[in-house]
Structure 1
Amino acid sequence: MTERETTRLIAWSHEMRRVHARLREALRVTREAVERGESAERPARELLLICHGFCSALDAHHTGEDRTLFPAIAAAHPDLAPVLRKLEQDHSMIGHLLGGLEAAAGSRSSPEVLASHLEGIAAIMESHFRYEERQLLTVLESLDLEADPGEALGTL
């Protein structure tokens, strides 16, 4: 294997870490927007945009993993099927929670309600990211995957 090929393979694990860091930052920004105390009668346009942007980014990340990254891992490492199933179940649960956040933001819910939605998402998202990183980063360093990182890990 050439140095360029090795660098490309290791780049997948670094890219996953970068995507997770950007999503954590997007969650932080979203929480801060809620904490600024937008009124229940008329949520700020900024808050709606931030919530929608965060939800879209996290959903795109999980969709990319489910469609591109996880099938490649499953083909190369069939023994990881239970891990991938758990991660996909997490994706489904997080998707459901994101839908609840978007509905709450769109229906002018109070900052307390929005904060509650974000707290649930944050807890599962962080647990999911840590598990995914523990289980997959080493695998990604040896995965031979010819795909665009934006397609495989979501565009951020």
Structure 2
Amino acid sequence: MHPSHEPNGRLTALGNQLIEIHLWLREELARLRTSLDSPGADLRSSEDLRAHCLGFCAALTRHHGGEDGGAFRVLAEREPALRPVLAELAEDHRMVAGILRRIEDLTTGPAAARAAVRAELDGLAALLESHFTYEEKKLVAALDAVNRRAGDTVELLGVPLPDDGMPTTIPRGTETR
């Protein structure tokens, strides 16, 4: 049984779910970076690699959008002292969005340059690691205290947690074009 699922089916606290989503996003980014490094990897000719890249970008965008419009809004109302932290995290989300736009442009452009995509992914990985660690340190306890009536995982964190406790590879509504 996945640690987030107790025998009575009760969901874990939102802070724990946030950590699970971050773990999944870290793993997906690592898989993507490894795929890009494999011999013969070419974003122009590999539909699977391009779809994985764009799917990851869409999932991360949805997660940050969920946080900004869901969990962060709820926390700002309930814990005004967290507002400066939430503003910093929202600024990180804007920086991440810029990197994701560049990655999408590189992967859908006429000549997807693996080195340029890899450089953007490396920068994204560094920024996300710092961002996720800071977010978890500052928000998990506050999220754990949020009443479930404030919303579900999708509403508050942007990504669903299916039965196995990990988000789907491409969350509903984030499919690529």
Q: How does 1:2-151 map to 2 (within 5 A)?
A: 11-36=13-38, 37-39=40-42, 42-107=44-109, 108-146=111-149, 147-151=151-155
Q: How many Å separate the matches in 2 of 1:110 and 1:33?
A: 14
How far apart are 1:43 and its partner, in Å? 3.5
Q: How many Å separate the matches in 2 of 1:29 and 1:39?
A: 15
How far apart are 1:39 and its partner, in Å? 3.5
Give CA deviations for 1:54-111 in whole Å, capped at 9, x if unaligned.
Answer: 0011000000000011111001110111000000000010001001011111123222
Letter in 2 for 1:95: A
Q: What TM-score, normalized by structure 2, do the two folds share?
A: 0.79
Does the 8 Å CA contact 2:71/2:157 hold for their aligned counterparts? yes
Q: How many Å separate the matches in 2 of 1:70 and 1:102?
A: 26
How many residue pairs are counted as aligned between the two chains? 148
Q: How many Å separate the matches in 2 of 1:81 and 1:25?
A: 29
Does the 8 Å CA contact 2:64/2:93 hold for their aligned counterparts? yes
Question: Identity of counterpart residues, as a percentage?
Answer: 34
Does the 8 Å CA contact 1:30/1:51 hold for their aligned counterparts? yes
Q: Report the structure, 1 or 2, having the larger helix content.
A: 1
Q: Superposition RMSD on alpha carbons, in Å?
A: 1.5
